[in-house]
Amino acid sequence: MTWTIAITAGVLFGAGTYLILQRLLSRIIVGLGLIAHAANLILLGSGGAPGEPPLLDEASAGPYSDPLEQALVLTAIVITFGITAFLLALAYRSWTEQGSDEVEDDREDLRIARRREAKP
Amino acid sequence: MTTLATLPIVIPLLAGALALALGRSIAGRRTISLIASGASAAVAAILLVAVDNDGAVVVAVGGWTPPFGIELVADRFSALLLVASTVALFAVLVYAVSQRATDEEFRGFHAVYQILGAGVALALLTGDLFTMFVAFEIMLTASYVLLTHRADGTETRPAISYVVIGLVASALFLISIGLIYGVTGTVNLADLSVRLDAVPPGLRSGLGWLLFMVFGIKAAIFPLFFWLPDSYPVAPTPVTALFAGLLTKIGVYAIIRTQTLLFPSDEPSTFMLVIAGLTMIVGVLGAIAQTDIKRILSFHIVSQIGYMIMGLGFGTVAGVAAAIVFIVHQIIVKASLFLVGGLVEESEGTGAIDAVNGVARRSPIIAALFLPAALSLAGFPPFSGFVGKLALVEAGFAANAWIIVGVSLAASVLTLFSMTKIWAGVFWGTPNTTERRITPRGMALATASLVAFSLVIAVAAEPIVSYAERAADDLIVERIIAAMPEGVSS
């Protein structure tokens, strides 16, 4: 179980990193989503082996799941959800105003590049 | 007593909600916002005195016994930073209100501003790692909104890189929390400080460096600072001033809190000192290459973060105390410098050094506000930066860290050079136009009050430094007692 989580999280993180390094904003956002999933999985995995539902029940004395990290993951999911939505709105505005989804070049970089071209 | 520690979080949150509810009335929103920020600053000051006299205040939120519930802890360190932050929040708010443009353009400004204040207070007061994550998210989400709301087509790129970096850092923060929880089974800071002792040293330092990197992104240390000079200057002046004064320092607060409490070391950390030196030098060299006031100042934010990390890197009480004094000085001085930069932009229409001349003759008030703040940044006696740097240098000598002290002094000289560049370019010379422009009195007054506060730090150096020493003593020597509530045995 832990191995599955660890490997899945690793793959998600790798794919997310690859997507973040792309030029298209939509890909970057998907990449961020994958990285957030990886983080949530690791958080979930940190609770150890799963057991009975963590309900207050005197009858079942068996091992039960750790409820804390489930609560943490819920909080984290809500936060990432909100910020991803915000980022999507931002991407949409950038698309309506520029007509493209591509992340522009850094202006400082352009300035330096132009200066170098001017002085051969 | 316990309500006192929750008020700095509750007041701005309520005020933010009220400001949203008041929607249409701009006067109403302004009044609510100003009252809330003023009240938070007053509460923070009372809390500071209370904590200094009677020791740390611990609040178990919701009545759950620690370490199971969420805890708020106000100790000397967090109380002092809370005072500096709330003062900066209040002064910048007064500036924004008298500038008019910022909050008239954006109806939600005051609500978001107050929520950011609540996030800052929660980050400073929280006693557990996950709540610190939530606090950072509150603070950062508010900052995303403030930074992007005005962004037109040309400005979205820096704003987007800011949000993306923030999100990546948050994911890494979550991962570190997950790993730490997996190893120890708790996220309560006080509890962690005990349980981490049982963790193998290699694993423990791995977790420590992971957290250091996470907060390092927020604090903009070398080599994780590239987003900062890129994104900060595009925001409206009050927003930039607030970010410059507060956000990175909260990152430094989190570094100092977690490193001293969870990953203490008795000897100077060479790695941290190297990072500190590189942050100082790279930041200040970046500043020298720039030609716009706000961009220059943004690179100086990075450079000055190096001094704080240096204080922590010494690993001594004196070093951490000096870092604390330096953080307080930076919160105030950085915010006031950006406000002065905004005044120049407001009265001249641009902040480009080549385009502006002779401000000293046209508006002597702006020049009179810039000079003490700039000299203070460079560490000139008798201003507040001198107090912080002197304490740092003394701590460095005591720790026999000669090289880093030399590097820090060199960075100071370069800072002075960069400040004289602004002075000579913007303030000296013959004015381009004779057209008179009026500086709004409220903006100048808000800036002046922050500059005056930095002078108070310089005049009251002795009590502030001794307070910081007590705070650092709490952090390093009595690290468990300070955060552990009474009645909970280790």
ipTM of the complex: 0.89
> Best of A70, A97, A102, A110 to disrupt the B interface by mutation (most B CBs within 10 Å)?
A97
Give B134's contacts in chain A (Cβ within 8 Å): 75, 79
The number of residues in chain A equals 120
pLDDT digits (tens, 9 = 90+) for B339-375: 998 888 888 777 787 778 877 778 888 888 889 999 9
Minimum CA–CA partner of B184 in chain A = A46
Give B151's contacts in chain A (Cβ within 8 Å): 90, 93
Cβ contact A68–B177 (<8 Å)? no
Calpha distance B400→B388 (Å, rounded): 18
Calpha distance B79→B75 (Å, rounded): 6
> Best of B180, B181, B187, B226 to disrupt the A interface by mutation (most A CBs within 10 Å)?
B181
The pLDDT value given to residue B56: 81
Does the beta carbon of A63 lie under 8 angstroms from any beta carbon of chain B?
Answer: no
Nearest to B136 by CA among B332, B144, B62, B239: B144
Of B141, B175, B177, the CB nearest to A83: B141
pLDDT digits (tens, 9 = 90+) for A65-101: 778 888 888 988 998 899 899 888 888 888 887 777 7
Token match 């002779």: residue? Answer: B358
Q: B163 CA to chain A: closest CA distance, Å?
A: 8
pLDDT band at residue B153 using 50, 70 and 90 as cut-offs: low
What burial class does residue B219 get, using C-beta atoms within 10 Å of its C-beta: 0-12 exposed, 13-18 middle, 19+ buried?
buried
Query: Which two structure tokens, joined as six digits, stand for B62?
Result: 């919701």
Q: A59 CA to chain B: closest CA distance, Å?
A: 24
Calpha distance B254→B247 (Å, rounded): 11
Give B168's contacts in chain A (Cβ within 8 Å): 20, 32, 35
Does the beta carbon of A75 lie under 8 angstroms from any beta carbon of chain B?
Answer: yes
Calpha distance B282→A46 (Å, rounded): 38
Of A46, A79, A97, the CB nearest to B137: A79
A107 Cα distance to chain centroid? 27
Of A28, A45, A47, the CB nearest to B164: A28
Query: Which two structure tokens, joined as six digits, stand for B187?
Result: 């996220």
The pLDDT value given to residue B478: 67
pLDDT digits (tens, 9 = 90+) for B431-457: 766 666 667 788 888 889 999 998 998
φ, ψ at B344 (rounded to 5°): -60, -45
Give B161's contacts in chain A (Cβ within 8 Å): 103
The pLDDT of residue B297 is above 60: yes
Cβ contact A75–B130 (<8 Å)? yes
SS3 A102: strand
Cβ contact A46–B178 (<8 Å)? yes
Does the beta carbon of A32 lie under 8 angstroms from any beta carbon of chain B?
Answer: yes
The pLDDT value given to residue B486: 47
Calpha distance B479→B262 (Å, rounded): 9
Query: Which two structure tokens, joined as six digits, stand for B336?
Result: 């006031």
pLDDT digits (tens, 9 = 90+) for B54-105: 878 888 877 777 667 788 888 889 999 999 999 999 999 998 888 877 777 7
pLDDT digits (tens, 9 = 90+) for B186-204: 888 888 888 888 888 889 8
Above pLDDT 70, what percent of chain B? Answer: 94
Give A80's contacts in chain B (Cβ within 8 Å): 167, 170-171
pLDDT digits (tens, 9 = 90+) for B254-272: 999 998 888 887 778 889 9
Cβ contact B160–A32 (<8 Å)? no
Cβ contact A47–B177 (<8 Å)? no
The pLDDT value given to residue B488: 42
